[in-house]
């Protein structure tokens, strides 16, 4: 049974995440997988596992994923009618034998909060994981700590275990993570999960023989604005107004010429 926008927002506000939301139909999923696999062939898996950053500016099929009506229905339900696409990145965890790994260590994502790297006031940041492949425990499913978004920004330090995929190589110290409360977010291919920028989350290495590829998209309401941080200067070269109007103009609209806003 489909839940209402009000139920969706209530659960998201309370728990800090949503999951198992169907987005892509069979044809859309197959088209996206074919397009991604073409990039794998052209660029190599070592590159595509983490370096396809903000490719929505370059590829129309990627922009169509980021502005998919079912994605934006959910985003406007939880963020309000005026929404900016902040950033996007494909993240692929391949079977260990398929790509070279630094120090021969399987990549993972340490416990962290997205907002630690972004830094915003005036509104939340929401992160989408749109699954191109089925995701479960064996291939490195997303894990979240429900209600952890209510704790504020937690301390982060340099990750102790090698293989952390986070660009800043940071993690929340273990004693601050209520790991016993962790909830897995398994997805069928074509489904998405969403978590708040303050929600504590992580994912283990892919120990299966299957690829785990997802499209990560981050959104903010137009009321949100970045905080100045001299230790970590931030630029936002890929922002696109994907829903509603922007009366605040905190971000430039970098919409590619092939994008037509429909929401």
CATH code at 5-243: 2.60.120.620
What pairs with residue 217 in β-bridges?
88, 128
What are phi and psi for residue 179, nearest 5 degrees? -60, -25
pTM over 0.85: yes
Strands 17-22, 191-196: pairing is antiparallel
pLDDT tens-digit map of 113-141:
888 777 788 999 999 999 999 999 999 89
Is the Cβ–Cβ distance between 201 and 111 less than 8 Å?
A: yes
What pairs with residue 142 in β-bridges?
203
pLDDT in tens, the chain (263 residues): 467 888 889 999 999 999 999 999 999 999 999 999 999 999 999 999 989 999 999 999 999 999 999 999 999 999 999 999 999 999 998 988 787 776 677 788 888 888 877 778 899 999 999 999 999 999 989 999 999 999 988 888 888 888 887 777 888 888 999 999 999 999 999 999 999 999 999 998 888 999 999 999 999 999 999 887 766 677 899 999 999 999 999 999 999 999 999 99
pLDDT tens-digit map of 68-84:
999 999 999 999 999 99
Residue 142, C-beta contacts closer than 8 angstroms, at least 6 positions apart = 129, 135, 184, 185, 193, 195, 201, 202, 203
């Amino acid at each position: 049974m489909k839940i209402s926008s009000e139920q969706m927002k209530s659960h998201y506000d309370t728990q800090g995440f949503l999951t198992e939301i169907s987005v892509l139909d069979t044809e859309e999923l197959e088209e996206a997988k074919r397009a991604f696999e073409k990039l794998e062939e052209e660029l190599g898996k070592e590159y595509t596992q983490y370096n396809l950053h903000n490719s929505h500016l370059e590829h129309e099929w990627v922009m169509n994923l980021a502005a998919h009506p079912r994605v934006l229905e959910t985003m406007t339900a939880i963020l309000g009618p005026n929404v900016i696409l902040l950033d996007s990145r494909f993240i692929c965890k391949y079977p260990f034998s398929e790509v070279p790994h630094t120090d021969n260590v399987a990549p993972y994502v340490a416990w962290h909060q997205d907002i630690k790297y972004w830094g915003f006031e005036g509104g939340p940041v929401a992160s989408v994981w749109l699954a191109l492949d089925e995701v479960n425990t064996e291939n490195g499913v997303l894990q979240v700590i429900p209600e952890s978004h209510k704790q504020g920004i937690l301390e982060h330090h340099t990750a102790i275990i090698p293989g952390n995929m986070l660009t800043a190589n940071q993690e929340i110290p273990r004693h601050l993570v209520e790991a016993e409360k962790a909830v897995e977010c398994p997805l069928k291919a074509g489904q998405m999960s969403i978590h708040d920028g303050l929600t504590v989350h992580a994912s283990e290495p892919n120990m299966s023989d299957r690829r785990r590829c997802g499209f990560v998209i981050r959104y903010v309401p137009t009321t949100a604005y970045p905080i100045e941080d001299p230790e970590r200067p931030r630029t936002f070269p890929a922002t696109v107004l994907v829903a509603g109007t922007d009366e605040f103009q905190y971000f430039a609209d970098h919409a590619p010429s092939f994008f037509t806003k429909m929401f």
